[in-house]
Every structure is written in C-alpha cells, then in structure tokens.
Amino acid sequence: MEKYSYNFYNSTNSNIKFYISKVYAWMACGLLITSFISWYITKIPFILEMMFFNRIFLFTILISQIIIVFILSNMINKISVNTAILLFIIYSILTGISISSLFLIYTYSSITISFFVCSLMFSLMSIWGYYSKSDLTKIGNISLILLIGMIISTLINNILKSNLIVWITSYLGILSFCILIAWDTQKLKEIGLNILNNNDNNNEQLKKYSILGALILYLDFINLYLIILKLAGIKNKNNNNKNKNKY
C-alpha cells in the first residue's frame, strides 16, 4: 500500500511538472509571436496608418481580444484543444498588432532591456508561487484591489497630468502584477492537481488548461512588461520626429 501511494505521488508530481512546463512553453510561444508581429508591423506603413488614425480598426482588435479571453476563460471545457491553441495564437497576433507602436516610441535597447528585466521578475515570482507552501489568495486579492486603484488613478490622471501619480501608479502596477504572477502560478498548479486527481480524461483536460494557463501568465507578463517599459524606457526621438513628419 505504501509503495502504491509513493508511486502515485511520483506519477502525479511528474505529471504536474510536465503540465506547468507546457504552460510556460505555450506562454513563451505566444510572446515570440507577439514580439515578431509587433516588430514586423512597423515595416508595413498601411497597417501603421490604420493603427494611428483608424479607431474602428483599434476597436475591432480590442473587442476581438476580449471575446477570445472570454471564450478561453469560460468555455475551455467545451472547445477542443486545437481550437484553444488557435484562439491563443490569434490573441498573440492581435496583441502584437496593438503594441507595435512600441518599436516606434522606444529605442530597441530599451525594449530589449525591459524585456529581460521583466523576464527575470516573472521567473522569480512564478518560482515562488509554484513552490510556496503558503496560500497566496489573500495577497492575490490585495493585488487586485491595488490594480483597481491604479486604473482609477490613471483615469483621473488623464485630467490632472501629474508625474507623481504616474510614478506611484507605475510602481503599484509592478507590485500588483508581481504578486499576481505568483498567485496565478499557484492557482494553475492547484488546477492541474485537481484535474489529475478527479478527471479520468486528464490528458485532454491538461492540454486545454495548459493553453488557458499560458494565456493567464502571458497577460501578467505583457502588462508587467508594458509598465516597466513605460517607467524606464528611453524614447526614440528620431523615430518620433519621422512619424510626426510622415503622418
């Protein structure tokens, strides 16, 4: 009996690690797609012009992203693995289009350095979330409250134009998303364990939830990255002047 329990524990432990590695792999795939698309879009003047001047185009991208997140978050058990993968790839492409202006606003060195800083922070917080024995729900909920406060402050600051508020909300955003990364990692681990323990068709479910998990961590990473870039990024003055003259 003890031998059976030990084997079951080892099997579950190896399966959950494989599941989490798939989450990270799909997340990395999404980031690569987004990075390539956002860079490549800067080489296509027609789409850039749409990004700057066509609000319907931007609104369509935003609505499409919301719909995809809703489907993956609420209908993951009803769709196939291939559909989930396709939706995640499409979302990554749409995000790449929507943030393509970053390559015009900031220098390549700022974009690269911010990415590595974000990657380091993400890795540390995700490792903490995975191995932590403490329940991170409480601080996770606090981080959500901080995010709501940050959003409200940002909206107010559109009128006040205060650099101090920008500075405070940026650091609050970094703190909030760091906590969310750890909390989401812990939740994904718990989801994987529940699937392995309670679902006979766990391979299919694990594949689906690895895509959903990738989307969750992908969103955490992207938002953290954008805040870091906004806070520490160096503006590309040459490109900004060219774009003003061109458009």
The residue range of the domain holding 145 is 2-246
Q: Are 178 and 123 in contact (CB under 8 A)?
A: no
Rounded to whole angstroms, the maximal C-alpha distance in the chain is 76
Residue ranges of alpha helices (H) inside 42-80 are: 45-53, 55-74
Enter the DSSP assignment of 1.
-
**Residue pointed to by tokens 């969310």:** 180
Query: Tens-of-pLDDT digits for all 247 residues of the chain?
Result: 444 444 444 556 788 888 999 999 999 999 999 999 999 999 998 888 888 888 899 999 999 999 999 999 999 999 999 999 999 999 999 999 999 999 999 999 999 999 999 999 999 999 999 999 999 999 999 999 988 988 888 888 888 888 888 898 999 999 999 999 999 999 999 999 998 887 656 788 899 999 999 999 999 999 999 999 999 888 887 665 555 455 4
pLDDT number for residue 200:
58
Phi, psi (deg, nearest 5) at residue 106: -110, 155
How many residues belong to the chain?
A: 247
Q: Are 208 and 76 in contact (CB under 8 A)?
A: yes
For the beta carbon of residue 208, count every other beta carbon within 10 angstroms: 21
Q: What tokens appear for 138 in the block? A: 């409480």
Q: How far apart are CA 136 and CA 207, in angstroms?
A: 25
Count of domains observed in the chain: 1
pLDDT number for residue 7:
44
